[in-house]
């Protein structure tokens, strides 16, 4: 087995003569529940349906402002006239309170950031190219590109981020680094799966022909939007670079790489955690009563909004996740590289639930939606699947920073596995879902549950939902 690269505690190795490709291995022992490593996404997107209802930073995706500011934001969204503010709880009693900065995009497109640093990072990485500004006409190629992605598949947003990132990097190269420009496209994603999108994973929600047509239309709009940017800069006004980075070959393989390696990102809103756990907060009743009154009108507007969404879903045979998700952590978005939000793991919340009075009903409803999106993580993308996983991806800090946590004690040399799918599902369902990733699972659970017949091959259809 080839060693590809390592960071403290883990190493990427390449299987020789094995369809698995790369895998991530432990180099030291890890105790159950220990964080093996954490990482931020290289590229990430908030699902379009989630944008108006989860107000988060355009770079790190943490919720913006404070509890009060979130309430004000929803009042603006829903046109609620009420103006009463939350009062500060006695020092140290409200663990759900938070505070971030609030910075607007330089070009006033409406994007907001939690810090100056996040605004700059997003701008330097891709936003300077993908920002539609304050007055971009709807007929512009960039606007049309975004509309096309919303109408067809959000994976195009992620691909545009990657391409913009490469363009920005090349524009920042020094004069003696032109060689870097020539290898940047070929080398950057060498570590990852390399097949055209339509050869990778077509689930039951769209066909190979659709994937090809959408890619062609999407790329044509992106070319139109980006060509003036590329040709107007001396570093990117290079025929070879332009014809590589804006080619269908590159675009389709980039989409394929993203499809195979993206991961869902989901975490709860602090306002929702505050609402849900208010009764257990150790503060005088008057603070809780006041908070309930302040939130009342927004909660009412949300309930109405969720009900309308549900009606629409019923009417349209809607297949995507909606804000009213009862369990609040099903963020698989059809590509199954699953993750878990912090409520799965937070002992504090379990403790809160323990404190509920006997007979008190569990509040399973989610009023203020959590963040729901997807992205690619460099190291996580090296973790293979098992239905008996030894690690789990969680978002514990209310941001897109992912933690890979040990589910049991792990010894040096063990391969790390997380589950791309719902591993408690019956064998047939699991194998059907995994076929869309192009492999038959050989984990101990599948091996023992697989019917003892040679004709047990699975069909290529799936009922999973798509990323839209």
Ligand X SMILES: C[S@@+](CC[C@H](N)C(=O)[O-])C[C@H]1O[C@@H](n2cnc3c(N)ncnc32)[C@H](O)[C@@H]1O
Would you give the binding string for ligand X spanning residues 174-193, x where CB under 6 A is met? ------------------xx
**Residue 194 touching ligand X (CB under 6 A):** no
Nearest alpha carbon to residue 162 among 251, 225, 50, 264: 251
**Residue 302 touching ligand X (CB under 6 A):** no
Nearer to ligand X, 165 or 439 (CB): 439
Judged by CB under 6 A, the chain residues 143 through 172 that form the site for ligand X are none
**Residue 19 touching ligand X (CB under 6 A):** yes
Helix segments in 189-284, DSSP class H: 197-200, 208-231, 239-245, 248-261, 270-277
3-state class (DSSP) for residue 121: helix
Among 255, 382, 393, 394, binds ligand X (CB under 6 A): 382
**Residue 384 touching ligand X (CB under 6 A):** yes
Judged by CB under 6 A, the chain residues 55 through 114 that form the site for ligand X are none
Among 441, 464, 465, 468, binds ligand X (CB under 6 A): 441
Contacts with ligand X by CB under 6 A: the residue count is 18
**Residue 16 touching ligand X (CB under 6 A):** no
Do 464 and 332 meet the contact criterion of CB atoms below 8 Å apart?
Answer: yes
Among 156, 241, 267, 437, binds ligand X (CB under 6 A): 437
- Measure the CA–CA gap between 138 and 22, rounded to whole angstroms: 43
Nearer to ligand X, 170 or 381 (CB): 381
- Measure the CA–CA gap between 53 and 74, rounded to whole angstroms: 8
**Residue 21 touching ligand X (CB under 6 A):** yes
Among 10, 22, 47, 50, binds ligand X (CB under 6 A): 22
Among 206, 244, 439, 449, binds ligand X (CB under 6 A): 439
Nearest alpha carbon to residue 44 among 375, 267, 265: 375
Residue whose token pair is 């003569």: 17
Residue 325 beta carbon to ligand X: minimum distance, rounded to whole angstroms:
24
HSE-up of residue 354 (Cα within 13 Å, Cβ side) = 6
Among 90, 228, 284, 438, binds ligand X (CB under 6 A): 438
Among 367, 381, 391, 421, binds ligand X (CB under 6 A): 381
Residue whose token pair is 């790489």: 257
**Residue 222 touching ligand X (CB under 6 A):** no
- Measure the CA–CA gap between 330 and 336, rounded to whole angstroms: 10
- Measure the CA–CA gap between 76 and 205, rounded to whole angstroms: 35
Cα radius of gyration rounded to whole Å, the chain = 23
Residue 191 beta carbon to ligand X: minimum distance, rounded to whole angstroms:
7
**Residue 427 touching ligand X (CB under 6 A):** no
Would you give the binding string for ligand X spanning residues 228-267, x where CB under 6 A is met? --------------------------------xx------
Nearer to ligand X, 89 or 189 (CB): 189
Residue 26 beta carbon to ligand X: minimum distance, rounded to whole angstroms:
16
**Residue 399 touching ligand X (CB under 6 A):** no
- Spatial CB neighbours of 319, under 8 Å, sequence gap ≥ 6: 205, 465, 466, 468
Structure token pair of residue 439: 């492999």
Distances 463 to 207, 209, 261 between C-alpha atoms, Å: 14, 19, 20
Structure token pair of residue 349: 């919340």
Nearer to ligand X, 101 or 378 (CB): 378
Residue 15 beta carbon to ligand X: minimum distance, rounded to whole angstroms:
8
Nearer to ligand X, 97 or 449 (CB): 449
- Measure the CA–CA gap between 363 and 344, rounded to whole angstroms: 15
Helix (H) or strand (E) holding 395: strand 391-395
Residue 167 beta carbon to ligand X: minimum distance, rounded to whole angstroms:
25
**Residue 390 touching ligand X (CB under 6 A):** no
- Spatial CB neighbours of 112, under 8 Å, sequence gap ≥ 6: 55, 57, 58, 64, 102, 103, 104, 105
Residue 430 beta carbon to ligand X: minimum distance, rounded to whole angstroms:
11
Nearest alpha carbon to residue 203 among 458, 386, 446, 432: 432
- Using CB under 6 A as the criterion, which residues of the chain lie in contact with ligand X when the complex forms? 19-23, 192-193, 260-261, 381-382, 384-386, 437-439, 441
């Amino acid at each position: 087995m080839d060693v590809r690269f390592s960071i403290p505690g883990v190493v990427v190795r390449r299987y020789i003569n094995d369809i698995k490709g790369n895998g991530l291995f432990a180099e030291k022992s890890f105790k159950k529940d220990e964080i093996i490593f954490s990482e931020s996404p290289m590229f990430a997107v908030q699902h379009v349906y989630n944008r108006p209802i989860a107000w988060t930073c355009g770079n790190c995706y943490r919720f913006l402002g404070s509890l009060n500011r979130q309430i004000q934001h929803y009042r603006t969204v829903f046109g609620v006239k009420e103006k009463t503010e939350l009062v500060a709880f006695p020092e140290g009693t409200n663990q759900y309170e938070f505070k971030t900065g609030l910075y607007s995009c330089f070009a006033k497109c409406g994007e907001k950031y939690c810090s100056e640093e996040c605004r700059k990072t997003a701008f330097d990485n891709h936003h300077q190219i993908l920002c539609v500004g304050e007055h971009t006409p709807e007929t512009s190629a960039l606007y049309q590109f975004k509309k096309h992605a919303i109408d067809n598949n959000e994976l195009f947003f992620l691909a545009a981020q990657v391409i913009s990132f490469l363009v920005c990097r090349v524009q920042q190269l020094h004069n003696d680094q032109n060689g870097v420009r020539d290898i940047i496209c070929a080398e950057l994603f060498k570590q990852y799966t390399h097949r055209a999108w339509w050869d990778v994973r077509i689930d039951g929600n769209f066909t190979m022909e659709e994937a090809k047509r959408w890619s062609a239309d999407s790329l044509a709009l992106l070319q139109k939007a980006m060509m003036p940017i590329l040709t107007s800069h001396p570093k990117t006004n290079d025929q070879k670079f332009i014809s590589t980075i804006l080619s269908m070959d590159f675009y389709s393989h980039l989409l394929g790489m993203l499809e195979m390696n993206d991961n869902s990102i989901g975490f709860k809103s602090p306002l929702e955690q505050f609402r849900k756990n208010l009764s257990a907060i150790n503060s005088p009743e008057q603070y809780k009563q006041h908070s309930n009154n302040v939130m009342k009108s927004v909660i009412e507007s949300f309930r109405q909004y969720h009900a309308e969404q549900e009606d629409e879903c019923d009417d349209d045979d809607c297949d995507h996740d909606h804000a009213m998700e009862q369990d609040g952590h099903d963020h698989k978005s059809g590509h199954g590289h699953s993750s878990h939000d912090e409520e799965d793991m937070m002992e504090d919340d379990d403790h809160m639930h323990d404190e509920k009075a006997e007979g008190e009903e569990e509040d399973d409803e989610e009023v203020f939606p959590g963040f729901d999106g997807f992205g690619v993580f460099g190291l996580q993308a090296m973790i293979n699947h098992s239905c008996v996983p030894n690690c789990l991806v969680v978002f514990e800090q209310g941001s897109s920073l992912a933690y890979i946590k040990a589910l049991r004690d792990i010894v040096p040399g063990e391969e790390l596995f997380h589950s791309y799918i719902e591993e408690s599902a019956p064998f047939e369902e699991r194998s059907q879902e995994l076929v869309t990733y192009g492999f038959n699972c050989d984990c101990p659970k599948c091996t023992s549950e697989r019917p003892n017949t040679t004709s047990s091959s699975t069909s290529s259809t799936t009922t999973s939902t798509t990323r839209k």
